[in-house]
Amino acid sequence: MKHVKNIVIIGAGNVGTRLACALNDAGCNIVQIAGRRSIAVETLAKTLDTDFTLSLAKIIKGQDLYILALPDNAMEEVLGELDLTDELLVHTSGSVPMEILIPFSENVGVFYPLQTFTRNREIDLKVVPFLVEANRIDTEDSLVGLGKMLSANVNVADSEKRLQMHVAAVFASNFSNHMYDIAREIMQDNGFDFDLLVPLITETAAKAVEMGPDNSQTGPALRKDMEIIAKHLELLKNKPAARELYDRISKNIIDQTH
Amino acid sequence: MKHVKNIVIIGAGNVGTRLACALNDAGCNIVQIAGRRSIAVETLAKTLDTDFTLSLAKIIKGQDLYILALPDNAMEEVLGELDLTDELLVHTSGSVPMEILIPFSENVGVFYPLQTFTRNREIDLKVVPFLVEANRIDTEDSLVGLGKMLSANVNVADSEKRLQMHVAAVFASNFSNHMYDIAREIMQDNGFDFDLLVPLITETAAKAVEMGPDNSQTGPALRKDMEIIAKHLELLKNKPAARELYDRISKNIIDQTH
């Protein structure tokens, strides 16, 4: 198993930035930041006091690890411009199979942090689960070792399992945030401060985490209170998208619990 | 404005229990617990070392306040059995108009804690917003005063505003919990521990609270990544209800952000 020391980060978005900083803090040597968005790339390179390039052709060869931290739909194009042979190449995506990297290096893997990343927001990676995969067992060991430098929670998962977990993550994070956002809109339409919902949001998440969401459900749909549900649907008549979701999610909860 | 001291609690469910304990701790005198579920009623009465009755006809008259802490669809039946004249009578519901109480007392109001309550789970009421309404201005003052004994966040809101806020709360709490629960099911179906999602759930809620959910959205729908969305829908083909929600919520996020 090879110890990973010298790393090139390709992509200076939310994930690339957090990983580069955390790996640097953990004692790795971030050799270069590569990417196209000049401000993000230069800012990150300056933060880490390292080299950068806006041209993929100028990526330094022969390093221990190349981390592609790109949106899924940008990966293919960037891969086509890389010129690696047997350098270890990984991506950080939940839903892209490892196999797409194989044409571009003999030594590939995935290094996926199961978390939501937002610009200008610190994340404590130590508690973030990392899902790791590799096409060679020694590479898998290297990536697990690297993961353990950042997090107490490193798991090996193949592309199929990782994709399933990504779908779960979309519900747990992206979709729960959309529910908050509909709530925010209703509050705003009525001249209320969103902050009134903060204790509720915090308690709902804490309760689900501590007791499991299957033991935490409350509300009109759980009680099958069709009168209140009808009243709420009536109130949402001018917001058809929210109304449709209210109706469907309520039916789901009723079907599951009655 | 009359200072509320002696209180009868009708209903020993999650809300009734939490309110009774908090009011007792705040120095009020819980004169009696009334309700039909004998175990819950007796347990609460024993905890507070107070009187209880399982018969609504035996409710002690002439006290300062009667709090109906009942599911919305149980309220009408219980009200029909109450025998009050001008005692202050309030309910604790988000969606039931104050007006339904008027036939049963000359002095009525609402005392609604905007929070999700679950049995055997402590809630710090100090941060919970209370929404208060009354049919008389002196009663409104009394209820605001009572609310301030429990919470730092007491607001006056009429029934229409309270109903709007309740709909927002259903999205922010009941529906976000349902999203967690679908995620839990996907994890379980694949043999993963739900705990892997805990840092994600915690960070998503914290981020929405600190930055606002409109500034916190991430994921495939925000990026309008139709390839990943199609992959996820394909994976959910054996879970039609979850698949339908995935499709609809993704479309909503795309419509809102593109």
Task: Tell whether the model's pLDDT for residue A232 goes beyond 90.
Answer: yes
Count of A-B CB contacts under 8 Å: 314
In a domain, A199, yes or no: yes
Residues 6+ positions from B215 with CB-CB distance below 8 Å: A118
Residue of chain A minimizing CA distance to B94: A228
Confidence of residue B33 (pLDDT cuts 50, 70, 90): very high
Are residue B60 and residue B120 in the same domain, yes or no?
A: yes
Strands (E), chain A: 6-10, 29-34, 51-53, 65-68, 88-91, 107-113, 130-134, 154-156
Residues 175-194 of A with CB under 8 A from B: 175-184, 186-187, 189-190, 192, 194
Q: Give B162: exposed, middle or buried? Use CB within 10 Å, 0-12, 13-18, 19+.
A: buried
Tell me which residue in B172, B184, B255 faces A183 most closely, judged by beta carbons.
B172
Please state, rounded to an integer, the average pLDDT across all residues of chain B: 95
Confidence of residue A63 (pLDDT cuts 50, 70, 90): very high
Are residue A117 and residue A243 in the same domain, yes or no?
A: no
Best residue of B181, B193, B231, B255 to probe chain A, by most A CBs closer than 10 Å: B181
| Token pair of A20 as six digits | 């580069």
Residues 120-159 of A with CB under 8 A from B: 121, 123, 127-129, 153, 155
Where among B139, B157, B175 does a domain terminate?
A: B157
Report CB contact under 8 Å: B219, A71.
Answer: no
In a domain, A1, yes or no: no
Report CB contact under 8 Å: B178, A253.
Answer: yes
Are residue B235 and residue B135 in the same domain, yes or no?
A: no
Average pLDDT over residues B57-71: 96
Tell me which residue in A71, A123, A212 faces B223 most closely, judged by beta carbons.
A71
Q: How far is A145 from chain B (nearest CA, A)?
A: 19
Tell me which residue in A114, A171, A246 faces B182 most closely, judged by beta carbons.
A171
Residue of chain A minimizing CA distance to B255: A241
Taking the CA atoms of A234, A239, A244 and A246 in sequence, report the sign of the dihedral they define.
negative
Are residue A121 and residue A226 in the same domain, yes or no?
A: no
Supply the CATH number for residue A14's domain: 3.40.50.720
Report CB contact under 8 Å: A183, B171.
Answer: yes
State the Cα angle at B95 between B93 and B97, rounded to 5°: 90
Where among A157, A191, A226 does a domain terminate?
A: A157
Domain span holding position B111 = 6-157
Tell me which residue in A173, A178, A180 faces B252 most closely, judged by beta carbons.
A178
Assess contact for B56 and B84: CB atoms under 8 A.
Answer: no
Give, to the nearest 10 degrees, the angle between helix B176-189 and helix A240-257. 50
Confidence of residue B122 (pLDDT cuts 50, 70, 90): confident
Are residue A101 and residue A189 in the same domain, yes or no?
A: no
Where among B157, B182, B201 does a domain terminate?
A: B157
Number of domains, chain B: 2
- Rounded to two decimals, the ipTM of the complex is 0.94
Confidence of residue B104 (pLDDT cuts 50, 70, 90): very high
Tell me which residue in A184, A199, A225 faces B214 most closely, judged by beta carbons.
A184
Read off the pTM.
Answer: 0.93
Q: Kindly write down the DSSP assignment for every residue of A140-182, as one continuous string.
A: HHHHHHHHHHH-S-EEE--HHHHHHHHHHHIIIIIIHHHHHHH
Distance CA A112, CA A69 (A): 10
Are residue A208 and residue A131 in the same domain, yes or no?
A: no
Chain A touched by B227 (CB under 8 Å): yes
Report CB contact under 8 Å: B204, A176.
Answer: yes
Chain B touched by A26 (CB under 8 Å): no
Distance CA A197, CA B155 (A): 13
CA atoms within 13 A on the CB side of B247: 14
Distance CA B234, CA B86 (A): 62
Residues 6+ positions from A255 with CB-CB distance below 8 Å: B241
How far apart, in Å, are the Cα atoms of B183 and each of A127, A163, B135, B190, B205? 19, 13, 44, 11, 15
Task: Give the CA radius of gyration of chain B.
Answer: 22
Tell me which residue in B174, B179, B209 faces A172 most closely, judged by beta carbons.
B179
pLDDT at site A40:
95
Q: Which residues of chain B make contact with A216, given a CB cutoff of 8 A? A: 116, 118, 177, 180
pLDDT at site B139:
96
Taking the CA atoms of B41, B47, B48 and B50 in sequence, report the sign of the dihedral they define.
positive
pLDDT at site A231:
95
pLDDT at site B118:
85
